[in-house]
Structure 1
Amino acid sequence: MKGLLIKDFKLMKGQKNFFLAIVAIALAMITLSPGTSFAIGFLGFVGSLFSLSSISYDEFDNGNAFLFSLPITRKEYVLEKYTFGVLCGIASLFLGTLISFFSILITDKGNLREMFLTACTLLPVILLLLSIMLPFVLKFGGEKGRIAILGMMGFLFVAGILFTKIAEYMKIDFYPLAKRLSQIDPHVYILFFLFLAITALAVSCLVSQSILNKKEF
């Protein structure tokens, strides 16, 4: 798996201009709107997506057929993609947090506690994002996988609207529940969602292994 990680990091190195452009955008946004946590989420999400682009590179020109002729297993390949995605996501999240941190120190705008809470909250979100997207990309490939992800997001959006409308029709009031939940310590929320995200990531990894085992190259 170490060799696969080195390969993907070298591929990412080839995209350094793109990554520098993303960092420049984050710096520009934090300069225009000091005190915001835009850089944290922006860099975190973009960084985690590098694992998807690495899968597209592997598929290019039937590269997987050659890749799996090497002494690596499909299980190792899947584990590496998840590891690579998590590493990139955490590193990018950390970079975004640093940018926001120094922005708050320099401009004296914003709240450090809120910034760190935002960063901690976004970590499980990134893990959930990876757990959803990687199986789709491994199943359908780079391009079709993105279309499938968009379709799923659209479905979830429509389902959310329908749920809201049904709740309104049935006169279900979620305000008391929301008020009660708002009184819980944010750290409890973060730990709970982090546990859920790690669990989802583990399940997603098993699903991806099953998907890849059935694929032929």
Structure 2
Amino acid sequence: MKGLLVKDFELVKVQKNFFIIIIIVALGILILGDNVTMPIGFLTFIMSLFTLSTISYDEFDNGNAFLFTLPITRQSYVLEKYGFGLILGVGAWFCITAVSMIVILIKQSMLPMDLLMMSCMFLPFTLFLQAFMIPFQIEFGSEKGRIAILGMFGLIFIVGILIKQVAESIFHIDLLYLLDHLPQLDMSIIIVSMIFIAMILLWISSRISIAVMNKKEF
């Protein structure tokens, strides 16, 4: 797995100009703008999803056929992709959150604890996104994977609308009203719960990805 991580980090070096631009944009929004949380989510999501690009690089020109002649297993390959995504995502989140703390202390625009709580909300969403997208990328590849992901997001959106309409028209339940009047919970409890659920979904996602990879032929 160490060799796979080295390979993917070398791919990151190839894309260094792209990452420099992304970092400059995030820092520019952070320093010049009023919204200090947007750059945190922006940089965290972009960096964590670069693992999808590494899967595309591996598939390019039937590269997997050569890759799996090396002493690696399909399971270790999949687990490395999840680990690589976590390293990039969590690493980017930690760095941009630290810089954001310095900026708000200089500007005195927000309490550090408030920023930390808002920043922590991006972690579970990053895990959710990886858990959702990596199996599609492995199963369908780069082109079809993007179409499948967009289709699934559209399906989730449609199902959400249908659930809301059925709840209101048949059961006479206002879901938005219920959400607004849920008992107030401590934000730290909510964040920890979301991260716990996201980790479970990420584990399930990794099992699915391993099963998909084991069935593929190169």
Percent of aligned positions with the same letter in both sequences?
50
Q: CA deviation at 1:111?
A: 3.0
Q: Specify the SS of the correspondent of 1:142.
A: helix
Which residue of structure 2 lines up, in the alignment, with residue 78 of structure 1?
A: 78
Computed over aligned residues only, the root mean square deviation of the Cα atoms, in angstroms, reads 1.3
The CA deviation string for residues 91-144 of structure 1, in whole angstroms up to 9 with x for no partner, is: 111122123212211211123222111221111111111000000000001121
Which residue of structure 2 lines up, in the alignment, with residue 95 of structure 1?
A: 95
Which residue of structure 1 lines up, in the alignment, with residue 104 of structure 2?
A: 104
Which residue of structure 1 lines up, in the alignment, with residue 31 of structure 2?
A: 31
Q: TM-score, normalised by structure 1?
A: 0.95
How many residue pairs were aligned? 216
Which residue of structure 2 lines up, in the alignment, with residue 208 of structure 1?
A: 209
Q: CA deviation at 1:178?
A: 3.7
Q: Check whether the contact 1:134–1:208 (CA below 8 A) recurs between aligned residues.
A: yes
Which residue of structure 2 lines up, in the alignment, with residue 44 of structure 1?
A: 44
Q: Please, which runs of 5 or more residues in structure 2 have no aligned partner?
A: none
Q: Specify the SS of the correspondent of 2:217.
A: coil
Q: Specify the SS of the correspondent of 1:43.
A: helix
CA distance, structure 1, for counterparts of residue 181 and residue 143 of structure 2? 42
The aligned runs of 1:9-24 (5 Å cut-off) are 9-24=9-24
Which 4+ residue blocks in structure 1 deviate beyond 4 angstroms? none
Q: Check whether the contact 1:39–1:97 (CA below 8 A) recurs between aligned residues.
A: no
Q: TM-score, normalised by structure 2?
A: 0.94
Which residue of structure 2 lines up, in the alignment, with residue 124 of structure 1?
A: 124
Q: Please, which runs of 5 or more residues in structure 1 have no aligned partner?
A: none
CA distance, structure 1, for counterparts of residue 217 and residue 178 of structure 2? 52
Which residue of structure 2 lines up, in the alignment, with residue 196 of structure 1?
A: 197
Q: Specify the SS of the correspondent of 2:181.
A: helix
CA distance, structure 1, for counterparts of residue 153 and residue 77 of structure 2? 26
Change (3 A) 1:176 1:92: same
